[in-house]
């Protein structure tokens, strides 16, 4: 127990209540414990356990970023001054999603603070780290769009997709030829159906997916979970490979209405070298009868 914790314990023993950040005398940082930490957690609106763990640190850093002071994750005088303003409602602050609930708190805290783990594609356990090039995309989502992806989001993405995928840099020409053939044959098969599109979406670069995902959360004010239901985190999408296509429509109701098309695509895509990736609802994704992957 360090000096600050001793002082705090004495204060607690003497019945001196710590009710506001102005009563917080210690400099708080990783490893600090007790009611002073609880006060900070309370003000920031994060799950309150009185322990200054990696999740609390990350949230403090978010706050420091927000109020434009050095984001060292240490609660010293400058940070306390700003926290006092937050306490007095003089600063606007929205608690990041990752630290609001016990569930998120646990999943974040169980994840080690170090970033030294090597990427191993055969390791598919929870808490799997992203390779550095993909982590960069996740960092960009945060920096450019304020979208904070937690380990729990990443775990689910691994569970749904299996692994990250390479950015092929463009569409695969064989796959493109085959999808056009499939679309043309399908349209001939059902001359009475009104098809709103041919290919809705094909190759997507890593950067495009960052933009795609970030915009949906930021501009459309949707939750990360909601966007993840039909969009991969950057790095995971089959569209990166240039071998995946969304065809006709990405509107579930169109496919319901045109179930004959849905069945035809599901039953015939193999002949063209494709499979319907999301036949049924998965860990994250909804069923997507429109999303075809060229497996050849």
Residue 246: CB minimum distance to Zn ion, A: 4
Contact 64, 79 (CB under 8 A): yes
Of the pair 202, 214, the CB lying nearest Zn ion is at: 202
Q: How far apart are CA 223 and CA 211, in angstroms?
A: 15
Q: Phi and psi for 77 in degrees, rounded to 5? A: -60, -45
Edge-first strand order for the sheet with 274-276 is 199-201, 244-247, 291-294, 274-276
Q: How far apart are CA 26 and CA 22, in angstroms?
A: 11
Residue 71: CB minimum distance to Zn ion, A: 36
Q: How far apart are CA 278 and CA 293, in angstroms?
A: 10
- Per-state percent for the chain, helix, strand, coil, to nearest 5: 50, 5, 45
Residue 201: CB minimum distance to Zn ion, A: 6
Of the pair 7, 286, the CB lying nearest Zn ion is at: 286
Residue 50: CB minimum distance to Zn ion, A: 45
Residue 244: CB minimum distance to Zn ion, A: 6
Of the pair 128, 291, the CB lying nearest Zn ion is at: 291
Of the pair 148, 232, the CB lying nearest Zn ion is at: 232
Q: Near Zn ion by CB under 5 A, which window of 106-114, 228-236, 253-261, 284-292?
A: 284-292
Of the pair 4, 272, the CB lying nearest Zn ion is at: 272
Q: How far apart are CA 182 and CA 272, in angstroms?
A: 7
Which residue is closest to Zn ion by CB? 291
**Contact flag: residue 282 with Zn ion (CB under 5 A):** no
Give the CA-trace dihedral at 75, 77, 83, 84, to 10 degrees: 150
Chain positions 153 to 172 lying near Zn ion, rule: CB under 5 A, are none
Pairing of the two strands 244-247 and 199-201: antiparallel
Rg (Cα) of the chain, in Å, rounded? 25
Residue 250: CB minimum distance to Zn ion, A: 7
Of the pair 61, 212, the CB lying nearest Zn ion is at: 212
Place of tokens 């950040």: 21
Residue 231, SS3? coil
Candidates 246, 252, 264, 282; binder of Zn ion (CB under 5 A) is 246
Residue 138: CB minimum distance to Zn ion, A: 20
Of the pair 152, 238, the CB lying nearest Zn ion is at: 238
CA angle 259, 263, 269 (to 5 degrees): 140
Candidates 164, 231, 291, 292; binder of Zn ion (CB under 5 A) is 291
Q: Which residues bind Zn ion (CB under 5 A)?
A: 246, 291
């Amino acid at each position: 127990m360090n000096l600050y914790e001793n002082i705090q314990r004495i204060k607690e023993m003497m019945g001196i209540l710590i009710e506001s950040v102005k009563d917080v005398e210690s400099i708080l940082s990783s490893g600090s414990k007790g009611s002073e930490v609880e006060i900070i957690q309370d003000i920031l609106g994060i799950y309150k356990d009185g322990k200054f763990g990696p999740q609390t640190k990350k949230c403090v850093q978010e706050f420091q970023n927000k109020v434009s002071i050095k984001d060292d994750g240490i609660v010293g005088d400058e940070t306390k001054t700003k926290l006092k303003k937050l306490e007095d409602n003089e600063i606007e602050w929205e608690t990041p999603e990752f630290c609001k609930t016990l569930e998120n708190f646990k999943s974040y805290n169980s994840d080690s603070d170090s970033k030294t783990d090597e990427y191993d594609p055969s390791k598919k356990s929870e808490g799997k780290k992203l390779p550095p090039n993909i982590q960069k995309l996740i960092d960009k989502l945060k920096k450019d769009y304020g979208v904070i992806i937690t380990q729990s989001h990443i775990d689910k993405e691994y569970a749904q997709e299996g692994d990250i995928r390479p950015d092929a840099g463009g569409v695969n020409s064989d796959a493109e030829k085959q999808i056009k053939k499939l679309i043309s044959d399908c349209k001939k098969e059902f001359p009475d159906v009104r098809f709103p599109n041919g290919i809705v979406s094909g190759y997507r670069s890593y950067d495009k997916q960052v933009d795609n995902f970030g915009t949906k959360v930021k501009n459309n004010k949707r939750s990360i979970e909601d966007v993840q239901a039909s969009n991969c985190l950057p790095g995971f999408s089959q569209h990166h490979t240039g071998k995946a296509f969304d065809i006709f429509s990405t509107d579930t109701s169109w496919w319901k209405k045109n179930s004959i098309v849905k069945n035809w695509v599901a039953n015939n895509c193999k002949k063209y070298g494709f499979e319907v990736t999301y036949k049924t609802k998965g860990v994250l994704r909804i069923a997507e009868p429109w999303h075809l992957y060229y497996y050849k």
